[in-house]
């Protein structure tokens, strides 16, 4: 059982190392544009043209504009 536990711990350490490497790469990513409705960060970079909505406001806008049937 100790071998299995060591294997799991080693896998967790490998995952944490991968997350650290990915985090270092994400620092170079362009900042996120603010949502035009609530000013929260959106999914889009600041260079994105047009109206930028965060996922929540995009969902609410979709509900608002949906056909009522």
pLDDT in tens, 25-41: 555 688 999 999 999 99
| Per-residue pLDDT, 6 | 52
Q: Specify whether the CB–CB gap between 21 and 39 falls below 8 A.
A: no
Q: For the chain, what is the radius of gyration of the CA atoms?
A: 20
| Per-residue pLDDT, 27 | 58
In whole angstroms, what is the distance from residue 60 CA to residue 68 CA?
14
For residue 11, count other CB atoms closer than 10 A to its CB: 10
In whole angstroms, what is the distance from residue 67 CA to residue 49 CA?
27
């Amino acid at each position: 059982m100790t071998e299995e536990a060591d294997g799991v711990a080693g896998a967790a350490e490998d995952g944490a190392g991968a997350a650290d490497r990915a985090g270092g790469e994400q620092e170079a990513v362009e900042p996120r544009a603010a949502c035009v409705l609530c000013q929260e960060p959106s999914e889009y970079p600041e260079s994105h043209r047009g109206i930028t909505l965060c996922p929540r406001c995009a969902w609410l806008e979709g509900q608002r504009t949906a056909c009522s049937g």
